[in-house]
Amino acid sequence: MKKEICFVLIMVLLTGTACVYGGEAYAESTSASANSATAVASTTGTSITATSGSAVTKSAVTKSAITESAVTASASAISAKPVPLSMKEAVKIMQTTGARAQTAELNKKSDTALAKGYGETVSKISKILSGLDLLDKYSALGYVNPSVAMEKSIEAQEGGATGVNKKVSELRRDFAQGQIDNNYKAEMNQIEYETLKVYYGVLLATDNLKTEEDNLKTQQDILKNTKAQYQAGMLAKKDVLSAESGVTAAKSSLQAARTKLEYAKMSFNYLLGYSATQPITFTDKLEVVSSAAIDAEASVKSALALRNEIKGAEFAVKVHGILLDNLKAYPKSSSAYMEQQVALLSAEKTRKDAPILIEIEVRSKAAELADKQAALEAARSIQTYAQEGYRLIDISYQAGMTTLAELQQAQVNVYKAGLAVSKAISDYDLASYDFGYAANVGTARLPL
């Protein structure tokens, strides 16, 4: 759906200012805003960046370079003292000083410049059209040679100063002005989500390491008790070997968990611009985020009112409608008319499909969030059951009523249940954030 919407918007940008008489789009060579706007859309339809020469001045580029240099210099220095960092602080860093934040700021400035440029284009075309109307009036009164008036009219049309281009530019101006903040918010949402995923990666790896440490301690306790019973003649040598095998496996898993945690921390440092080995104290813990009850109906209503994709689809239909209406004098069998008719039909189909696809997306994410919540509750229930089961079997084992194999299996159940709970918490929290973005403006910006 996003690809279809972005494709239609790109077609609007390419054809929106086409002159009725086949002339080039209106532009004034001396105006920076009229010839500097370029929209670049990614083929995936999920990230669209607009750049404008008039928006990025020399001083802005210099300032950006200085800021980037300062961030790089700061990142290269490793502080021996761990840097305390909460989840909110990490997101704030990424949304203010990170490379993605700088790109978002430039995109916002570019969007502002484009909106201003469209406004200037409307003003210039209006002045030219007013001048032509005045020229026609004087020509009718005999003060101006009709051939001169006709010549000026043709020049204006060839330069793109037409009524249709004025209407399209007005639409673009209004759409751009209303979309600046939404585009910026969508980029901020994307930055926040990416940061949260990496931060949660560290928290999950940390919890897994704790689970591995607990498992090793328990396996060592089992080995100690097994050796004592073996020396007392109550167990065979194979039981000691089995307990030793359990300790060896636990040590191996613990080492693997440490490696995963180190990698998660380095990935986090890389994302935030720190040195790879910069010590960070992650002040947040892996806990379930507090969120309101899932209200799919309210979320769908919110998404249909706020999502960028729907606003873009509406805009595309309006522009192509104006362009097709301007060709009503053309034969309906002409290529020009048929091409614009197909473009309008495509835009209308996208507008029709967009709300349905957005609703499906929001409802799917709501259902997924409910599934994650149920999975978390089940994981916690299984963990409680496994812990109690181990406690009872351990008592029986000490009394010689159960085997070592049963005790080891009970510990494996506790170990696996602990890992499952940690993962369930992480999955639920990230699904909760993702659901929130879907019910708002989303995470994709639109070309202006």
257-273 in b/e form (b: 16+ CB < 10 A) is: beebbeebbbebbebbb
Mean pLDDT of the chain: 83
**pLDDT tens per residue across span 118-138:** 999 999 999 888 888 887 777
The alpha carbon dihedral of 392, 394, 397, 399 has a sign of negative
Could you give the percent of the chain with pLDDT greater than 90?
A: 66
List the alpha helices (DSSP H) in 24-162. 32-35, 58-76, 87-96, 99-140, 146-158
Q: What's the whole-number mean pLDDT along residues 287-315?
A: 91
pLDDT tens per residue, range 132-183: 888 777 777 777 777 777 787 888 788 888 889 999 999 999 999 999 999 9
In this prediction, residue 99 carries a pLDDT of: 80
For the cut 50, the answer to whether the pLDDT of residue 388 exceeds it is yes
Least confident segment among 55-59, 69-73, 162-166: 55-59
Residue 292 CB neighbour total at 10 angstroms: 8
Residue 426 CA to residue 350 CA, distance in Å, equals 35
Q: What is the mean pLDDT of residues 409-414?
A: 95
CA distance 207 to 282: 12
- Band the pLDDT of 232: cuts 50, 70, 90: confident
CB burial of 152-166 (b: ≥16 within 10 Å; e: otherwise) equals bbeebbebbbbebbb
**pLDDT confidence of 424, banded at 50, 70, 90?**
very high
Strand boundaries in 205-344, DSSP class E: 280-282
| Separation between Cα atoms, residue 99 and residue 95, nearest integer Å | 9
Write the CA distances from 22 to 118, 154, 221, 239, 335, integer angstroms: 21, 11, 86, 90, 13
* Domains by residue range for the chain, with CATH: 2-438 (1.20.1600.10)
Predicted confidence band at 80 (pLDDT cuts at 50, 70, 90)?
Answer: low
Question: Which band of pLDDT confidence, cut at 50, 70 and 90, is reported for residue 78?
Answer: low
Joined together, the tokens standing for residue 330 give 């053309």
pTM: 0.76
For range 202-213, the mean pLDDT? 97
The Cα 273–Cα 203 span in angstroms is 19
